[in-house]
């Protein structure tokens, strides 16, 4: 059994661009979530899983592509509700996910806040507050480029740094599908860089986007934008 499901999480506070697409993998012994959704989105995640006949308590692993609030927002809550759950990330991202290094986006947002126009200050403060609500969670298993995770007949770890330096993507062999995280976003039918102005290293991000585009996977799934090609 090598199943892949696309979840759609649409927070009530957002517009269409706020909808995110975590991926769920299932084989005989594992139920693996790739990225976990926004802070406070446990009810939405639970509902999205329930639609497919699953519950958070059944998850065996969460693979985190990188430490951004929309990817790690429910990790701590998931782990509390399911202590057996194993969290997987790159070594670099693990320090941020566990709260051992200051969160990149929080550092960026704090630096930008004083430069915002009066009109943008409130939205800036709301975003800062959101980022401050991200709870740390310990990573159980760190992975590197070239590792093959034993899910669904083999799931390759691809280092795709740039958006953050420890960003990873996953390639599910049995489905010829590359789960790109934020190494690529799907915007109006085109694969592009995610928020290039906030990339930790833009040149690396460009390189990683090319890696995703030239990998040769039949299907690419972006956390923001969903499935390419449609």
Q: Which residues bind Zn ion (CB under 5 A)?
A: 68, 70, 182
Minimal distance, residue 76 CB to Zn ion, in Å: 18
Q: Which is nearer to Zn ion, 152 or 191 (CB)?
A: 191
Please give the backbone phi and psi of residue 33, each rounded to the nearest 5 degrees, phi first: -95, 135
Name the residue nearer to Zn ion (CB basis): 117 or 197. 197
By C-beta, is 7 or 152 nearer to Zn ion?
7
Closer residue to Zn ion in complex, CB, 198/215: 198
Q: How far is the CB of 223 from Zn ion (least distance, A)?
A: 5
- Nearest approach, Cβ of residue 221 and Zn ion (Å): 13
CB of 165 to Zn ion, least distance (A): 15
94: three-class secondary structure by DSSP: helix
Give the gyration radius of the chain's Cα atoms.
17
Distance CA 98, CA 128 (A): 19
In sequence order, the 6+-apart residues with CB closer than 8 A to the CB of 24 are 4, 5, 6, 7, 31, 32, 33, 34, 49, 52, 54
């Amino acid at each position: 059994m090598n199943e892949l499901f696309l979840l759609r999480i649409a927070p009530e506070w957002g517009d269409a661009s706020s909808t995110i697409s975590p991926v769920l993998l299932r084989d005989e012994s594992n139920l693996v979530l790739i990225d976990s959704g926004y802070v406070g989105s446990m009810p939405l995640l639970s509902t999205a899983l329930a639609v497919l006949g699953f519950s958070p308590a059944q998850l065996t692993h969460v693979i985190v592509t990188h430490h951004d609030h929309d990817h790690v927002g429910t990790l701590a809550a998931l782990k509390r509700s399911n202590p057996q759950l194993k969290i997987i990330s790159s070594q670099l991202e693990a320090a941020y996910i566990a709260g051992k290094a200051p969160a990149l986006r929080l550092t960026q947002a704090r630096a930008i806040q004083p430069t915002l126009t009066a009109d943008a200050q409130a939205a800036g403060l709301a975003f800062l507050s959101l980022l401050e609500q991200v709870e740390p969670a310990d990573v159980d298993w760190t992975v590197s480029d070239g590792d093959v995770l034993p899910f669904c007949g083999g799931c390759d770890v691809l280092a795709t740094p740039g958006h953050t330096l420890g960003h990873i993507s996953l390639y599910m062999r049995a489905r010829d599908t590359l789960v790109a995280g934020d190494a690529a976003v799907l915007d109006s039918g085109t694969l592009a860089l995610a928020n290039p102005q906030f990339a930790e290293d833009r040149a690396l991000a460009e390189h990683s986007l090319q890696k995703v585009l030239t990998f040769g996977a039949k299907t690419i799934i972006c956390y923001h934008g969903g499935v390419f090609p449609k």
